[in-house]
Amino acid sequence: MSKRWCWSYSGAVLAFLGCVSCVTPESRSHVDDTEDDTQQETGSGGAGTTEQGSGGRTSVVTSCGLPVPTSSGVAKPSGETGGLRVLDWAGLKGAVSYTFDDANSSQIDHYAELQGLGVPLTFYLQTNKSDAKDPTWAQALLDGHELGNHSKSHPQTASPDDVDAATTFIEDNFGITPLTMAAPYGDSSYVSVAETRFLINRGVSNSSVTASSGNRFNLPCHIPAENALASAMDAVVDKAYQAGRWQIMLVHGFTGGSDGAYQPVAIEEFVAHVNHEKTQPDLWIDSVIHVGAYWVAQNLIADITPEVDGESTTWNWTLPEHFPSGQCLRVAVDGGTLLQGGEALEWDEHGYYEIALDEGSMTLEP
């Protein structure tokens, strides 16, 4: 079975990253008019783009940067108006994010192979390391990957100043404000620091994330054993995929590096593993901020009690702080027409309406 989509770095994904750079209410980063214009374009939802990705695959992403599920030819529901439900994982079956901590040299040495995978990755930088200034990270950002905060000096016990220093470093060197962080050692003292600074903090407890619950300031992950084979990594991600969960993987580096990465794996095994996961038809492979923002929103919207006025039902919401702009959510209904900003949304034949989260409201009418 040929795969229906894979990621490449289309304009849509790059536009999404443009948004990531300018989302904090405090406006600590370098917001300019160009980036604001980009946000406007990415928030509209609707038509997808198709282009050749790496390896000759056909790549399909929507203007929101969401992957397209394998389901297709789904007619607009014609039942009774109502039954609105949020689709987990953008309508796919499960998700995986690959994270790389500590700005280790072997991540830089093997960046070409990582980029060659054609999937967005997340790099959590420890910013007092000399390799944190390596030009690879600016390139990674341009290529559609996420740069996140892993503190400045990696203390066991959280220091707000140390975390803020890492954010300042990333802002000054790469022109973006990180929206997610990874706690050094997964220490729980980082939870309260993250709550006021980030959308998400990744810890290190060995588990995966369910669609409907979890603490976004202490998300679990799996750290492969030293020299883990591709088959061992496949088993972890396949299990989460089959269970409809989000698996975050944490790799510190690859064998042969010069700075002692924790539990390194062979780059060949890692590449073989990701290439295996790319064959799963409905697995969403994306950065922590992209999957995580969707997951936060799917739970936010699912929990709303809508306001009913005659035949019209309206959902209103406020996005949390540090939420990226220009994001979308997919919802289905039993029947009726969904509107945002007074305009009817177009039903997508893959089985959903795609709503713009920045609108803060949607209405279902007969």
Contacting range for Zn ion; rule: CB under 5 A; set: 6-14, 98-106, 196-204, 325-333: 98-106
- Distance separating alpha carbons of residues 146 and 289, to the nearest angstrom: 7
Contacting range for Zn ion; rule: CB under 5 A; set: 86-94, 101-109, 295-303, 327-335: 101-109
Q: How far is the CB of 333 from Zn ion (least distance, A)?
A: 44
101 near Zn ion, rule: CB under 5 A: yes
Closest to Zn ion by CB, 221 vs 291, is 221
How many beta carbons lie within 10 A of that of residue 275, not counting itself?
Answer: 15
Q: Read out DSSP for 157-204?
A: S--HHHHHHHHHHHHHHHS----EEE-GGG-TTHHHHHHTT-SEEEEE
Closest to Zn ion by CB, 187 vs 234, is 187
Query: Residue 188: what are its φ and ψ, rounded to 5°?
Result: -70, -15
Q: How far is the CB of 204 from Zn ion (least distance, A)?
A: 9
In three-state secondary structure terms, 291 is helix
Contacting range for Zn ion; rule: CB under 5 A; set: 49-57, 102-110, 309-317, 324-332: 102-110
Closest to Zn ion by CB, 88 vs 162, is 162
| Alpha-carbon separation of residue 311 from 253, 283, 346 (angstroms) | 56, 37, 20
Contacting range for Zn ion; rule: CB under 5 A; set: 100-108, 162-170, 312-320, 346-354: 100-108
| Alpha-carbon separation of residue 204 from 83, 101, 188, 208, 353 (angstroms) | 37, 11, 10, 10, 35
Q: How far is the CB of 103 from Zn ion (least distance, A)?
A: 9
Contacting range for Zn ion; rule: CB under 5 A; set: 95-103, 127-135, 189-197, 282-290: 95-103
Closest to Zn ion by CB, 125 vs 283, is 125
Give the burial string for 284-300 (b: 16+ CB within 10 Å, else e): bbbbbbbbbbbbbbbbb
Q: How far is the CB of 102 from Zn ion (least distance, A)?
A: 4
Q: How far is the CB of 184 from Zn ion (least distance, A)?
A: 5
102 near Zn ion, rule: CB under 5 A: yes
Q: How far is the CB of 185 from Zn ion (least distance, A)?
A: 7
Q: Which residue has the tokens 């580096």?
A: 253
35 near Zn ion, rule: CB under 5 A: no
How many beta carbons lie within 10 A of that of residue 321, not counting itself?
Answer: 15
User: Which residues form the interface with Zn ion (CB under 5 A)?
Assistant: 101-102
